[in-house]
Amino acid sequence: MTPDPPSPQSPLDRLKRTPKCVENTAILIILADTFIILESLIASFIIRFHYLNGFGISQPGMTLTHYTLFMTLGIVSALVIFGHAHLYENQYLLSPRKSFPRIARACALWFVCYLAALRLLEPELLHAPQADLPPSASRLYLLIAPCVLLVAMTVWRFLLCKLIWKLSRASRLMEKVLFLGWNQDCEEAGSIMTHDPGSPMIIVGAIRPPGGDFAKPIPEKFQDYGAFENLPHVLARGDIDRLITTDSELDHYQLSKTITICEKEMVSFQLVPTCFRVLLGGLNLEKVFGMPLLGISRLPLHSRINLFIKRIIDFIGGFVGLVLSAPLIAVFGVLIYLESPGPIFYRQRRVGQRGREFDIIKLRSMKLDSEKETGAVWTVEDDPRRLRIGKFLRTWNIDEVPQFWNVLKGEMSLVGPRPERPELIKTFRDEIPHYNARHHIKPGLTGWAQVNGLRGNTDLTERIKYDLHYIERWNLLFDLQIMLLTFFKRQNAY
């Protein structure tokens, strides 16, 4: 249903609608954070000099007055770092789950900066008389302070979030979003926005694109704002904060016209780049000689330091894994040979990072020449080609342990998308959307798709989604989680 024509309203009136509330809330939270930081530093001082005074270098007669400069510096630096970590943005005020990791990283960075700053205030470094300067900061105090601050900020922000929702102030911090057009991409974007209960956005409805209709019916919970010609009046109403559309809905002229309308009404305009349908986590705008270029260039494993860390862990893990699995390989190698005389190892050509081919090594779980008649096919449940011992090997992933050698050589990683055979990939890359995007990184001994049961003869499209999720969100803890799950998740391992 099309809304009634809005009453005229000045863009400046619209600008006054919510920012005052947002501004006042931010000021109150910054003041509260200042108090929390101060109390954390005071608590750290009390713990150090009243409860742990017997540890470390003794500093008798120490009072809070001696630490005034240190605490002032700590408060200012913490607020700057919290601001840099975007902890005062609405999405982190409304969602504890999102804010906790940022608080932890901010406290870690604050510890490093605080330690460096106080070290520079050491009397011997300033070449000044001891009497003119405060005493050196206790190293134990510097270790206690970030721990206390982390606990205090985490508890405070959790309580703050609950308070904001209880007082119904959350709606004032949320932005009302209107979609221009409604298609599959808009539906996916809307689902992402509304999936998290702490999302700072509310979708109010959609308006039709120029000269057209919605590509898909809009959900009943959203309002239909009518034809594109109504857009200036809808935005002038003052209850829309953000207009979102996809690059498939507008041509260049229509896009320019829409942006101009949004500028006049002081409404944020954003475009969902549907030409980049995968690896959006790495989407980045960079300038080359002043010319803006949009592309995928900042995935976690594009970072050289991340690559270095992952390679070090792979090398150590590959070496330790190979040593520890040697007895297993020997025992099961004998069992394989007794059941089916012949080579105990099976070498197979696979495709790795950037399409490079290599030979993967596995303990043989199939009969000799098992693919002579069928060619390259996946293993299925109760596969007749499989050895009796092969079922146990594959269920417990023991047939994969020789691949620690591939990891040690740098052809594979401990964690990553599982490598496939070249002859299968020739078909997959044409039939499965975004299949080759998984080759941005090294293949893995185990992977996010595998621990979620997507292995062997399972839905490839779904498997690719899990592989791309891993590539976009890689971090060390994610790798450790997948390694641990590998020992407990054996669904579809046959």
Say which CATH number the domain at 186 has. 3.40.50.720
In this predicted structure, the answer to whether residue 7 has a pLDDT above a threshold of 60 is: no
In this predicted structure, the answer to whether residue 61 has a pLDDT above a threshold of 80 is: no
Pairing outcome for strands 175-180 and 242-246: parallel
> pLDDT-based confidence at 325, cuts 50/70/90?
very high
Distance of CA 129 to the CA centre of its chain: 50
Q: Are residues 71 and 199 in the same domain?
A: no
Average pLDDT over residues 386-393: 85
> pLDDT-based confidence at 313, cuts 50/70/90?
very high
Q: Which two tokens stand for residue 391?
A: 């079922």
Q: Are residues 183 and 36 in the same domain?
A: no
Residue 424 pLDDT: 81
Residue 14 pLDDT: 45
Q: Which two tokens stand for residue 278?
A: 């995968």
Q: Per the domain annotation, does 289 fall within a domain?
A: no
Residues in the chain: 494
Among the three residues 114, 140, 166, which one is the final residue of a domain in this structure? 166
Q: Are residues 201 and 158 in the same domain?
A: no
Q: Per the domain annotation, does 298 fall within a domain?
A: no
Measured CA distances, 279 to 61, 327, 347, 436, 467 (Å): 58, 41, 32, 12, 10
Q: Per the domain annotation, does 435 fall within a domain?
A: yes
Q: Are residues 142 and 195 in the same domain?
A: no
Distance CA 274, CA 244 (A): 12
| Tally of domains in the chain | 3
Domain enclosing residue 427, as ranges: 304-486
Contact (CB, 8 A) for 159 and 96: no
Average pLDDT, the chain: 81
In this predicted structure, the answer to whether residue 281 has a pLDDT above a threshold of 80 is: no
Q: Are residues 367 and 384 in the same domain?
A: yes
Contact (CB, 8 A) for 207 and 235: no
Contact (CB, 8 A) for 442 and 350: no
pLDDT in tens, 141-171: 889 999 999 999 999 999 988 887 777 555 6
Contact (CB, 8 A) for 115 and 145: no
In this predicted structure, the answer to whether residue 87 has a pLDDT above a threshold of 70 is: yes
| β-sheet with 201-207: strand ranges across | 223-224, 201-207, 175-180, 242-246, 268-272
Q: Give strand pairing partners of 303.
A: none
Cα of first residue to Cα of last residue in the chain, in angstroms, is 54
> pLDDT-based confidence at 480, cuts 50/70/90?
very high
Pairing outcome for strands 357-363 and 242-246: unpaired
In this predicted structure, the answer to whether residue 327 has a pLDDT above a threshold of 90 is: yes
CA atoms within 13 A on the CB side of 400: 21
Average pLDDT over residues 120-127: 56
Characterise 214 by phi-psi region: left (phi > 0), alpha (psi -120 to 50), beta (else): beta
Q: Are residues 27 and 149 in the same domain?
A: yes
> pLDDT-based confidence at 311, cuts 50/70/90?
very high
Q: Give strand pairing partners of 361.
A: 347
Which one is predicted more confidently, 127 or 295? Answer: 295
Residue 445 pLDDT: 93
Among the three residues 106, 133, 166, which one is the final residue of a domain in this structure? 166
Contact (CB, 8 A) for 401 and 408: no
Q: Are residues 343 and 441 in the same domain?
A: yes
In this predicted structure, the answer to whether residue 11 has a pLDDT above a threshold of 50 is: no
In this predicted structure, the answer to whether residue 419 has a pLDDT above a threshold of 60 is: yes
Task: Tell me which residue has tokens 């024509």.
Answer: 5
Instruction: Of 2-6, 102-106, 443-447, 472-476, give the lowest mean pLDDT range.
Output: 2-6
Contact (CB, 8 A) for 493 and 451: no
Q: Which two tokens stand for residue 311?
A: 């390679």
Percent of the chain topping pLDDT 70: 79
Distance CA 104, CA 108 (A): 6
pLDDT in tens, 329-349: 999 999 999 998 989 998 989
Q: Per the domain annotation, does 422 fall within a domain?
A: yes
Residue 492 pLDDT: 62
Distance CA 360, CA 347 (A): 6
Distance CA 318, CA 361 (A): 13
> pLDDT-based confidence at 15, cuts 50/70/90?
very low
The listed range with the strongest mean pLDDT (46-50, 403-407, 426-430) is: 403-407
Residue 134 pLDDT: 53
Task: Tell me which residue has tokens 């300038």.
Answer: 287
Q: Are residues 325 and 463 in the same domain?
A: yes
Q: Are residues 400 and 310 in the same domain?
A: yes
Q: Are residues 204 and 139 in the same domain?
A: no
In this predicted structure, the answer to whether residue 68 has a pLDDT above a threshold of 60 is: yes
Q: Are residues 259 and 200 in the same domain?
A: yes
Cβ neighbours of residue 188 closer than 8 Å, sequence gap 6 or more: none
Measured CA distances, 97 to 87, 103, 104, 414, 472 (Å): 12, 11, 12, 28, 19
Average pLDDT over residues 207-233: 88
Q: Are residues 184 and 309 in the same domain?
A: no
Distance CA 413, CA 350 (A): 14
Among the three residues 219, 254, 275, which one is the final residue of a domain in this structure? 275
Q: Which helix (H) or strand (E) covers residue 294, if one does? A: strand 291-296
DSSP state of 386: B
